[in-house]
Amino acid sequence: MQKRIDLHIHTTKSDGKLTPKEVIDEAYKNGVSVIAIADHDTTEAYTKELFSYAQSKKVKLISAVEISTKINKAGIHVLGYDFDLNNIEMQEKLYKIRNARHEYLHNVAKKLNQLGYYLNVEELDKIDAVTKAHIALDIINNKKNKEKLLHNFKHIPNKGEFIETIMNENCPAYVKKQTVTPKEAAEIIRIAKGKVVLAHPVAYVHEDNLTDNDILNIIREMKPDGIEAFYLYVDRNNNKIDEMKKWNKFAKENNLFVTAGSDFHNFDNIRPEIGFKNTNFVLEDEVINEILENLSN
């Protein structure tokens, strides 16, 4: 059987569809031997019970987190790996970032209400690491918003389209969120002796119109250990963009190691599933071993 790894998976602890245990089950089913749960700004998925369960399924679990950051031009995500989950300073800083998410929720709800959208703030407030995706999905799935959405979009948009049209910078419901910079996120990860990786650079080019030089400047500032070069990007029009060769070359030129992640959130028959099982993408064992060796402390 082809060896598989997946170092970027989301669960119900942030904006994923599967519980942490269900992620392990899916990894096992797909023949994935090593995974990392990289929920947004939280490590709540990582419990002793989950590590034991993963071990019982012969799935190796690496500690991970995806920290949301901001630069002038775009939101940038920073991945941390193989850090001390019990580091108090790191957990306190992650808590502050999550708390800012709830302030954002209440502020953006006011703007969305003014635009005529109904939002279930009370339920969303119960989500520890509430995200734009949670907010967008709540609006899209609320029947009260159907008429408004059809009027504005001429169809029911997916969450990405709603976020990019209504909630992002220069959009009608944009709210500036208190956040950290990529450099600060890298420092948070290093506090707990973790490895720092710039998540999916391909997304910033196609989603935020950043240039390769912009990416290089971010890297010079935050000094990551690696970048997520093995990543299949799907844009808001569901176009699949494979720039893996480009970003592997970029990594080599800038003395960075590479990682591989599906960024799995849910089953939509479009985006990669856990272990890239529904794609033609496979990694040679030699490459997998090198990635895992680079991540280990």
pTM, to two decimals:
0.87
Mean pLDDT for all residues in the chain: 95
pLDDT at 129: 82
Domain locations in the chain as residue ranges: 4-88+180-295, 94-167
The pLDDT value recorded for residue 40 is 95
Beta strands in the chain (DSSP E): 4-9, 32-37, 60-62, 64-70, 75-81, 195-198, 226-230, 232-234, 240-242, 257-260
Q: Say if residue 80's pLDDT is above 80.
A: yes
Mean pLDDT, range 44-48, rounded to an integer:
98
- As a CATH number, domain 4-88+180-295 is 3.20.20.140
pLDDT of residue 1: 59
Q: pLDDT-derived band of residue 42, with 50, 70 and 90 as boundaries?
A: very high
Model pLDDT for residues 101-148, shown as the tens digit of each residue = 899 999 999 999 999 999 999 999 998 889 999 999 999 999 999 999
Q: Which two tokens stand for residue 26?
A: 């899916």
What average pLDDT score do residues 253-258 get?
Answer: 98
> Integer distance in angstroms from the first to the last C-alpha of the chain?
28
Q: What is the bridge-based pairing of β-strands 64-70 and 232-234?
A: unpaired
Q: How high is the pLDDT of residue 176?
A: 85
Average pLDDT over residues 24-53: 97
pLDDT tens for each residue of 218-232 = 999 999 999 999 999
pLDDT digits (tens, 9 = 90+) for 150-161: 999 999 999 989
Residue 72 has a CB neighbour count (10 Å cut-off) of: 6
Which one-letter DSSP state was computed for residue 167?
I
